[in-house]
Structure formats: C-alpha cells, structure tokens
Amino acid sequence: MSLSEWLSTKRNIYIKNNIKKITLQIPDGLWIKCNKCGFLMYYKTLNKNYKVCPQCNSHFPTSSHDRIKQIIDKNTWMPINANLASTDPLGFCDKKLYGTRLQDMQIKTGLLDAVQTGIGNINHLPVAFGIMDFRFMGGSMGSVVGEKLTRLIEEGTKLNIPVIILCSSGGARMQEGMLSLMQMAKISSALYKHREKRLLYIPVLTSPTTGGVTASFAMLGDIIIAEPNALIAFAGRRVIEQTIREDLPENFQTSEYLFKHGFIDLITTRTQLKNQLYQVLSFYHKQGQ
C-alpha cells in the first residue's frame, strides 16, 4: 500500500468515527408534491395559486373557508343559519355511532355540518352563496345541509339576488336515511320558486359531485359551471358498467366529457372562477335593469 492510499484510508476511518452525520430536517407543511405531474413546490406557492398546481393545472382539494376567501369580496361575507347542526334522528351506528362521528367531524373541520351559507359580494355584486365542504363526511347531504341550502335560496328569492352553490359531495347521507333523500325535493322546490321570480341560479361543480346532489340542485342551474377534470356523476362507474354490460370511455364522468355532451355550460379553472362568475353576474345585472 502506498503512502497516499494509507493516508486516505486513515482519513476515512477518522471521519467515520469522529464526525457525526448531519441530517436535514424539513418542517412539515413546507413542501408539497403534485400527485398528477410530480412537481415539487412550496406549500405557500400552492396556496397563493388557489391550490392549483402551477405546472399542470391540477386542482388540489380545498376547504369552504378558502373558497369564501377566493370568491367573496373581503369584509362582505355575512353567514346565515351558521348555528344549525345535525342530530341523530335514527340512532344510526356502523363502526361508530353517528352522533360520535358528527362530533369528531365538527372538531376536525371547525364546521357544524358540510355546508356554509351566507350573503356576500362578488366584485360588488351581491349573491346568496353556499359552499359544500367535502372534508365533513364527504360533503354528504343530510337534513342540515338541505335545510341550510333551502333557507339560502329562500333568502336569495326574498332579496331578489342570484344564488350560487358550490357543490362538492359524495351524495345523500346514509346515516339519515329517507330524511336525507327528502332534501333533494326540498331544495329543488325552493329553486323553482326562485326561478319563478326570474332570478339567476348558478351551480359550480367541483370534484367530486355525485349521488343525490348531482340528481337534484347541481344540475338545475341556469348556467352550470365546472372545474377542470372534476368527477361528476350519479352512480359509480363500476355500477353503470355492470348494469348496461358495456365498457365506458376513459374520461366518462369528467367535466370535459359532460361539457362535450351538453350537460354543463362552462369549464373554468379555480384561479379564474371569480372573474367568470362576475362576468355572468354583471351581464345578468345589466339585462335586469
């Protein structure tokens, strides 16, 4: 062994035995990776871009609180019926008591149920605005969700202002049985009275919008708007394929497929949603003058 090789071996042994390994710890919540394109970004960057990936335009899940900040003018949001909360009328129990599940969701999300409703302005134009929150039991529609949306529509009818409902739901809430299904007819009835006064209703379909929500107020709009690549459906893909015994297209039940076949009127990214809503509202406002 040469002198240089001997010195190199001794140096490596010294480094191994006497120098501690330095581990780099990245704080939680600092970075986030896009599941669609793999782009790594600061979480703050994602938040500034309305939780839309700046590289591939993939829309991340977001909360009803964020939606209000993104769409409603600052200091104009006035919640209504914010104190309504679900009970357990059927004493339902699966892996957990329904009442216990509700309490857990309320603690986790800070919401009393799966929708927030209120009156606010979009670029100074007043609207009655409802935002479903998928974090609360999959945005499922129970008695409180139906009651809050019905009261919101009735308030919009009373004030002669447009109604906008941002939909994000797995459908009817099975823990409330028939009481949940009744909300479909109740909300639809309120929308009919709203339409009788020639007032505008705009549902905004986000991913996912499924089940009883799709089968009722999500598809009753004067203008139906959806986010890109949103899952919009009534029944699941596998259920439909087994029923009709045919294979479905790959993009079946996406907002693009529904737009192509005339079920929705406009697809717009979340970053442009407020501007698109304002354009529709301002046109409606001018026509009503």
pLDDT tens by residue, 25-45: 556 668 899 989 999 999 999
Q: Flag whether 93 is marked binding.
A: no
**What is residue 26's predicted lDDT score, i.e. its pLDDT?**
55
**What is residue 205's predicted lDDT score, i.e. its pLDDT?**
98
Longest dimension (CA), the chain: 97
Q: Are 163 and 131 in contact (CB under 8 A)?
A: no
pLDDT at residue 134 greater than cutoff 60: yes
Q: Flag whether 56 is marked binding.
A: yes
Local confidence band at 22 (pLDDT 50, 70, 90 cut-offs): very low
Local confidence band at 137 (pLDDT 50, 70, 90 cut-offs): very high
Q: Flag whether 53 is marked binding.
A: yes
Can you list the domains of the chain with their CATH numbers?
A: 28-60 (no CATH), 61-288 (3.90.226.10)
d(CA 42, CA 138): 27
Helix, strand, coil tally for the chain in percent (to 5): 45, 20, 40
pLDDT at residue 21 greater than cutoff 60: no
pLDDT tens track for 138-148: 999 999 999 99
**What is residue 114's predicted lDDT score, i.e. its pLDDT?**
97
pLDDT at residue 167 greater than cutoff 60: yes
Q: Flag whether 167 is marked binding.
A: no
Tell me the CA end-to-end span of the chain in Å, nearest whole number.
Answer: 96
Report which of 274, 272, 250, 252 is spatially closest to residue 261, judged by C-alpha positions: 252
**What is residue 236's predicted lDDT score, i.e. its pLDDT?**
87
**What is residue 16's predicted lDDT score, i.e. its pLDDT?**
61
pLDDT at residue 23 greater than cutoff 70: no
pTM of the model: 0.88
In this structure, what is the dihedral angle of CA atoms 202, 208, 209, 210, given to the nearest 10 degrees? 170
Query: Which H or E run contains 239?
Result: helix 237-244
pLDDT tens track for 81-111: 999 999 998 999 988 999 999 999 999 999 9
**What is residue 151's predicted lDDT score, i.e. its pLDDT?**
98
Spatial CB neighbours of 199, under 8 Å, sequence gap ≥ 6: 156, 157, 160, 161, 162, 163
d(CA 267, CA 201): 17
pLDDT at residue 19 greater than cutoff 60: no
pLDDT tens track for 210-243: 999 999 999 999 999 999 999 999 998 899 999 9
**What is residue 211's predicted lDDT score, i.e. its pLDDT?**
95
Pairing mode, strands 163-169 and 125-132: parallel
d(CA 44, CA 180): 38
**What is residue 10's predicted lDDT score, i.e. its pLDDT?**
62
Local confidence band at 1 (pLDDT 50, 70, 90 cut-offs): low
Percent of the chain with pLDDT over 90: 80
pLDDT at residue 207 greater than cutoff 90: yes
Sign (positive/negative) of CA torsion 8, 14, 19, 23?
A: positive
Q: Which residue has the tokens 């007032």?
A: 199
Query: Which H or E run contains 32?
Result: strand 31-33
**What is residue 18's predicted lDDT score, i.e. its pLDDT?**
59
